Amino acid sequence: MGKYEELSRKALEALGGVENITHVTHCATRLRISYARKSVVNEEGLKDLPGSAGIVNKDKQIQIIIGPGVHDAYEEFLEISGWREGGAVAAEEEEESGPKNAMYYLNKFGNFVAPIFMPVVPAMITGGMILAIKNLLVNYFGMGVDSGTAQLMLMIFDAGFAFLPVYVGYTLASQLKMQPIMGAFLGATLIAPRFATGTVTDFFGIGIPQVSYSSTVIPIVLGVFFMYYVQKVLKKIIPEALTFFLTPLITMILVVPVTLIVLGPIGNQLSGYIAAFCIWLTNTLGFIAQPILSAIYPYMVMFGLDKGLSPIGIELIANLGYNSVTGIMGFVSNICIGGTALAVATTIKDNKAQKGMIASFGVTALCGVTEPAFYGALLSRPKALIGTAIGAVSAGLVAGLFGLRTFVQGGCPGYLTLLFFVDQNGGLHYVWIAILVAAIATIVSFLATKVILSRDMKKTAK
């Protein structure tokens, strides 16, 4: 029996069976299952799932909070449910109720973006960490910069970042319910050696801009969306007997030139604008920007909006070599949630099991995984979140004043990701600043939450 077998079986039953499931994916910590008909979903049956820290139900999607083992839960759920993309789903989806306001569309955006970028995060984290270790070995342990080992580590780093168009092309095509390999195929054309060396200069006399798409995201996103609409048209006009051969052939003949001549250069320009905007924001607001962003970040995670920041972080790393915006707000916020959860645990006197559980949530959050602490301990204690905000503002101010920046893009920043702050030359300047910021975040959020909850308990006792 697998670790998540019971969770998978109970979740499948509560969701109304495999025929009610429309999509299954996961982010860094949550198993995300979309469904067709809300009327057959038993929300009570989804509570207290074994191996889960709770659920979030929004926009016809159940998000089961698992933690770092979410990929294992995802694989086990697929095996037990038998669900596959394009398999049997409910014939008709119920109309969504409720107002379609700004939050509705933000939720839709977050739910769409998460399955595109989160599967790519492990490759980026691993590549970035390998580069940081290589830089440390070269700077402080005498490894030759041109040695075979150093070059091998650089190769792993390149594999994590240079092929982003292939990775994102695959995941985006899958999210759009296309053949994923076609998205990867298009991404590969953007970084193919023949194009990268400048050999491909025109298409029937139309000049092709010589742009490097290595480590970029937006050009392939535009290209895959264009491919999606091209394929929709082709499926209507190509006979079914010929579609297997002709649809991919004509798709690539049409999509590749348009992407290289028009969409790719536009996407490349947009990437530069995003980086410039983030730099403008931090320069305009100065050190004030970071505490504000750090304080609101937990609520972005709660609504799933943090996933929309992934492309921004990727573009900053690709264009500038560092990220001084989105990576820092996540780092500060996660550690503050951990400090707050530990403070909550110390206020519990009469329930040792609950105290130990919340304390473990706090330690997990300090390491970067905050959902168990946020949903399992803090949301039910809104005043504790004041302590989180106080810690985030305090640590964010220090991070802003010292210009803290991260050199690795990835999810779940915390104490275990201090290597993210090793610069391109192996310098530890930003690592020491990160340690200082992390210490302030932990201590201030812990003490502020402790004081707030203690005062509240005294008032209640009186």
Same domain (yes/no): 224, 309: no
Show the domain range for 19. 1-84
The pLDDT assigned to 158 comes to 86
Angle between helix 102-117 and helix 164-175 axes, rounded to 10 deg: 130
pLDDT band for position 100 (50/70/90)? low
Count of the separate structural domains present in the chain:
3
Q: Which pLDDT value is given to residue 90? A: 45
pLDDT of 398 > 90? The answer is yes
Name the residue with tokens 């812990």. Answer: 446
Final residue in a domain of this structure, among 67, 84, 101: 84
Q: Average pLDDT for residues 431-441, to the nearest whole number?
A: 96
Tell me which DSSP letter residue 379 carries: T
Question: Is residue 135 domain-shared with residue 271, that is, in the same domain?
Answer: yes
Is residue 239 domain-shared with residue 382, that is, in the same domain? Answer: no
37: phi then psi, degrees, rounded to nearest 5: -120, 115
Q: Which residues are catalytic?
A: 27
- Collapsed DSSP state (helix, strand, coil) of residue 61: strand
| Closest to 330 in 3D by CA, of 309, 358, 360 | 309
Query: Could you tell me the pTM of the whole model?
Result: 0.69
Nearest by Cα to 194 from 205, 182, 210: 210
Higher pLDDT, 286 or 10: 10
On whether residue 176 sits in a domain, the answer given is: yes
Same domain as 315, residue 205 = no
| 178 SS3 class | coil
Strands (DSSP E) along 248-317, which ranges?
A: none
Least confident of 147-161, 247-261, 265-279, 377-391: 265-279
3-state SS class at 42: coil
